[in-house]
Structure formats: C-alpha cells, structure tokens
Amino acid sequence: MNLSNFDLVVIGGGPAGSSAAHAAALFGKRVALIEQAEKIGGAGINTGTIPSKTLRENALVIAGVKARALPCLSVVVEKDATLEALTHQLSAVEKLVRSDWEARFDRHHVEIIYGAASFHDAHTLNVIGRDGAVSQVRGDYVMIATGSSPVHPPGFDFTHDRIHDSNEILEIKVLPKKLAVVGAGVIGSEYACSFAALGVEVHLIDGRDSLLGFLDRDIAKHIQDGMVQAGIKLHWNEKVVSCTPSTGPSESSVLLTLSSGAQLTVSDVLVASGRSSNTEQLRLDAAEIPVGARGLVPVNGWFQTVVPHIYATGDVIGAPALAATSMEQARVAVCHAFNIMKKELSPILPTGIYTIPEAACVGATEADLTSKEIPFIVGRALYRHNPRGRIIGDRHGLLKLMFHRDSQRLLGVHVVGEQATELVHVGMMAMLGEGTIETFARACFNYPSLGDLYKYAAYDAMLILRGVNDAG
C-alpha cells in the first residue's frame, strides 16, 4: 500500500478544513485535504450557510416589498411554486464560491483526496476512495474538521418525503402549504422566517418559553415581534410527542401531537433539534483521542486535542459552530502548529442571525453585565429616526450599545433590522480598538447611512451620563 507524506493532512473540506489547508499551503507547507462528499464546501456551501441565505434573500424581496407597502407594486408567490424556482441562482452561487476555493487550492498545490478517512494511528489515515480502493496518508500534523450533521431525534421518520432535516429541506420540490418547524434555535428560526415570507403558513414549536435565549432580550423580542407580524404561529413550552404522516393515496399531510395534547396537521415538518459532530467513522480511538457528548472533540486554546500534533476546529469542537469562527479557529491552529506567526483567536467574535428581521451581536448583553455586577449604561438609536432607515422602510430596527459607566468603554453591540449583520462590524472594530463613547461622538459617518446610528446611540448614552432623559 502506497503511503503519501504531508506536512498537514486535513479531514473535511468545509469552511474550517478549507481555511486550514489554504493557510498552511500559503506558507509553503505540503497539504492534503480529504473530503468524503462528492464536492468540497461542507455545510457552508452545500447544505447550510449559502443555500439558506440564498433562500432568505429571495424571501426578502417579497417580505421587503410587503413591509414597505408600495401602492404601485405587488409581489405574489405563484401557486405550487417550487423551491428550485425560488432559488434559481443558488447553483450558480455555489459553483462560483466552490470554484474560488478550488482555484486557491490549485494555485498553492493543495492535494484534494476524495474518500472516507479514519485513523490508522496518530499520524496515519486510511482513506477509502470512491472506487473502494484503500490508501494511506501520513501527516506530521492532522486537522479534524469534519463538521456536523442534523440530529435525528426519535419519533420522526426522516425517510418520509414530508419530514425533513435542515440538510435536505431545500431539496423539496414543491413549496409547503403549511410547515411545522420543530426547534426554535437559530436554524429553525431562520427557516421559519424565510418560509413565512414566501407565504407559507408556519408553526414554530419549542420546549422553551422564549426565543434565542443567548441574545439580548430587546433584540430577541424584536425578532419575535417580527415573526408574529409575519404570521408565524409560536408554540412555546411544547414538545412533539408523535409525528404521524397520513397513509392515504396522496399522503399529503402529517399529524403532530404536542405535549399539551393539542394536535396540528401540516403538509411538511422541518426538525431543527441541533447538530452532532461527524466523528463517528473517524476511529478516533486509534489515535487515542477522547470524544464527548454528540461526538464533540475536546481541545485547548490552540485547538490541539490531547494528542499535540492533532488539531480540531469548527463544528466538531462545539459552540459557536459558525462558519466565520470556524475559519478563524483553523487559521489559529495552523499558525500554532507550524509556529508561523503569533496569532490568537479574538475574544471579540460577532454572531449573525439571518432571521427576518436579521440580527447581530458582539460582546456583552445587559444580562451578562448585570450578573457580573459591572456598572453600565445603554445607548439606543432607532432605525425610524434615521434617514436611511426611513428610506429603506425599516420602522422597527434598533441599535443598542453597552458602555462601561466609569471608563465609557464599549462592551457590547446589539443590532436588529436590515443590514444588522453588516452594521455590527463597526462596533466590533471599535471594541477591538478599545473604543469609547467619545470614539463615536468624534466619528463622521456618511449621510444618510445606517452607520450614523452609532453616533446617535453614543449621544443617547452621553445624555444618560448627564442625567438627561431624551425620550424623543
């Protein structure tokens, strides 16, 4: 059996794995990337980030026009519209992003190996190719970046064509008439909003009593209000105790029985009950690497496993399990492994929630600061008081800034409304530069622009410091 030797072997071609391979190759390392799927990209390109956001962008065309209520324009989703038609540019976007990744690999001589990898020992991997042939690959360093897959809780028949997980929901042919989303986490909430904007009757079911508990409560309330306004029916403190597809000739419905005893008949069900790391087939025991709950791989601050030359990044190590953070984790790990330069993962990482309205945050919430007894003040600015906000028709958006009461340092940024996932980066950069209220008071923003919200949120905080109540 031939044995190929590399400086770095990366298992998994999603955002984390691809970033690791590219980073190492940039510095002249010989890199192999092993991908089990037919195409590189992982959930980032193939099933999650880009596909779901493409659906959302098309939904925004409809939701945005409805929200702005232009008398001269009406947008209606055709009866029996297909998801393929509604995401017609998805394939093109996927191909372009994937071709960019592949071009970088080719330019820096990353060897892509298609097959299923498992550990033979701590340095060697067995790879079963598409033709069934087995080869071995050896790496001085190994990166585990195999991503995650949707959890399939018991009681749901995922072989049925009307019961879906988040990996295959966009493969359905006909737009659902009535959709139940089980799980009000980020994925469930995002899909609930997108389908509701497309005119689907959506029911969101969750065993908790509120939405997205990790968000600032004002931001979560704005999202929930937007859901209600969009017609989404919220079922809190409920669990699905049975899920029964119809057995008639058409098999056109699914009956859900909830823990309260209520019953709900829908055309389709999307189960979004979390994700589990893709580590089951890696034979991590052969490399003496322990595995935690849901297949999570424990790592240290440099993303090393208990075996120092084996690293793990992305979804396989757990939260935050976002594409952006996964890519940064991979770059930090590669720099640490090869002692390329001093690079650490920033403690200030943004989160984007692509609901309708979208939301984003970085840093501390009010609850965080209160629990830690840190003195703080809050500055707010509303989209409806901002000329650009009025132009785009966002009457409900909010920028909320958390400042330390004494030092006036910016401690947290929370945004809900159009372009929130872009707007949050202004605050993130200010936090990285240890910015204060004065930073925004001195800054000059384009007019009209949403960026100007930062100045007026800072003014609001200044008035609070002075004991002035500007309720307008």
Contact between 209 and 237 under an 8 Å Cβ cutoff? The reply is yes
Rounded mean pLDDT, 378-396? 95
Handedness of CA 424, 185, 356, 371 (dihedral sign): negative
Q: Return the pLDDT at 84.
A: 66
Looking at 3.50.50.60, 2.40.50.840, 3.30.70.270, 3.90.1150.10, the CATH number of the domain 3-48+88-150+276-337 comes to: 3.50.50.60
Contact between 457 and 427 under an 8 Å Cβ cutoff? The reply is no
Give the three-state DSSP class for 2. coil
At position 428, the amino acid (one-letter code) is: M
Nearest alpha carbon to residue 413 among 397, 430, 400: 400
User: To the nearest 10°, the Cα dihedral for 297, 303, 307, 308?
Assistant: 180
Higher pLDDT, 427 or 90: 427
Rounded mean pLDDT, 294-323? 94
Residue 96's pLDDT band (cuts 50, 70, 90):
confident
For 436, the token pair is 């204060």
Domains 3-48+88-150+276-337 and 163-273 alike in fold: yes
Higher pLDDT, 329 or 86: 329
Give the tens place of pLDDT for each residue, 212-259.
Answer: 999 999 999 999 999 999 999 999 999 999 999 987 655 689 999 999
- Predicted confidence (pLDDT) at residue 391 exceeds the cutoff of 80: yes
- d(CA 69, CA 71) in angstroms, rounded, equals 6
Q: Which residue has the tokens 């605050």?
A: 427
Give the three-state DSSP class for 142. strand
CATH number of 163-273: 3.50.50.60
Rounded mean pLDDT, 289-309? 94
Q: With respect to CATH, is domain 357-465 assigned 3.50.50.60?
A: no
- Predicted confidence (pLDDT) at residue 52 exceeds the cutoff of 90: no
At position 438, the amino acid (one-letter code) is: E
Contact between 11 and 319 under an 8 Å Cβ cutoff? The reply is no
Percent of the chain with pLDDT over 70: 91
Rounded mean pLDDT, 333-350? 93
- Predicted confidence (pLDDT) at residue 69 exceeds the cutoff of 50: yes
Q: Return the pLDDT at 248.
A: 63
Percent of the chain with pLDDT over 90: 75
Q: Return the pLDDT at 472.
A: 45
Residue 97's pLDDT band (cuts 50, 70, 90):
confident
The angle formed by the CA atoms of residues 328, 190 and 234, to the nearest 5 degrees, is 140
Nearest alpha carbon to residue 101 among 42, 156, 54, 53: 42
- Predicted confidence (pLDDT) at residue 61 exceeds the cutoff of 80: no
Domain boundaries, the chain: 3-48+88-150+276-337, 163-273, 357-465
Give the tens place of pLDDT for each residue, 135-146.
Answer: 999 999 999 999
Task: Give me the half-sphere count of Cα atoms (radius 13 Å) on the Cβ side of residue 61.
Answer: 11
Rounded mean pLDDT, 95-105? 84
* Integer-rounded Cα radius of gyration of the chain: 24
- Predicted confidence (pLDDT) at residue 129 exceeds the cutoff of 80: yes
Q: Return the pLDDT at 100.
A: 86
- Predicted confidence (pLDDT) at residue 1 exceeds the cutoff of 70: no
Whole-prediction pTM: 0.91
Q: Return the pLDDT at 455.
A: 98
Residue 367's pLDDT band (cuts 50, 70, 90):
very high
Mean pLDDT of the chain: 91
CA of residue 291 relative to chain centroid, distance: 23
Give the tens place of pLDDT for each residue, 450-462.
Answer: 999 999 999 999 9
Does residue 290 come out as left (phi exceeding 0), alpha (psi in the -120 to 50 range) or beta? beta
Q: Give, for 118, the enclosing helix (H) or strand (E).
A: strand 111-119
Residue 423's pLDDT band (cuts 50, 70, 90):
very high
Contact between 366 and 380 under an 8 Å Cβ cutoff? The reply is no
**3-class SS shares of the chain: helix, strand, coil, % to 5:** 35, 25, 40
Handedness of CA 432, 435, 439, 441 (dihedral sign): positive
Rounded mean pLDDT, 186-205? 95
- d(CA 101, CA 22) in angstroms, rounded, equals 9
- Predicted confidence (pLDDT) at residue 347 exceeds the cutoff of 50: yes
